[in-house]
Amino acid sequence: MGLARALDDSELVAYLHYVLVDPAYHGQGIAGTMVEMMKEKYKNYLYIEGMPEERKNAAFYQRHGFQIMPDGVALQICNFGDKR
C-alpha cells in the first residue's frame, strides 16, 4: 500500500526521494507515517532533504517539518530519447 525511498551517503545527508501510497489508501495518514519513520531513521544526519517532483507536494513535506530551501533549485537531465 505504500513505499518510501531514501538515498544517503551513510553519514551526513539523506535524500527522501519519494513517498508513494496506493490511491485506494490515500487520506489514511500512511504517507505521513512513512515520512516520520524516515525522519527517525536519519535523525542523526546533518541534513534530511526532500525531493518532491511536483511543487504541489511541497506543502505535505512542510507539514512534516521540511523547509523550502531559499536558494535551492531542482536540476534534472532526462535521457528518454525515443524510448517513450
Domains and CATH numbers, the chain: 2-63 (3.40.630.30)
CB-neighbour burial class of residue 64 (10 A; exposed 0-12, middle 13-18, buried 19+): middle
| φ/ψ (deg, to 5) at 14 | -120, 130
Of 13, 14, 68, the C-alpha closest to 5 is 14
Residue 27 cell numbers, joined: 487520506
Q: What is the pTM of this model?
A: 0.83
3-state class (DSSP) for residue 78: coil
- Which are the contacts of 2, defined by CB distance < 8 A and separation ≥ 6? 19, 20, 21, 22, 25, 30, 31, 34
> What would the pLDDT profile of 27-76 be if each residue is shown by its tens digit?
999 999 999 999 999 999 999 999 888 889 999 999 999 999 888 887 87
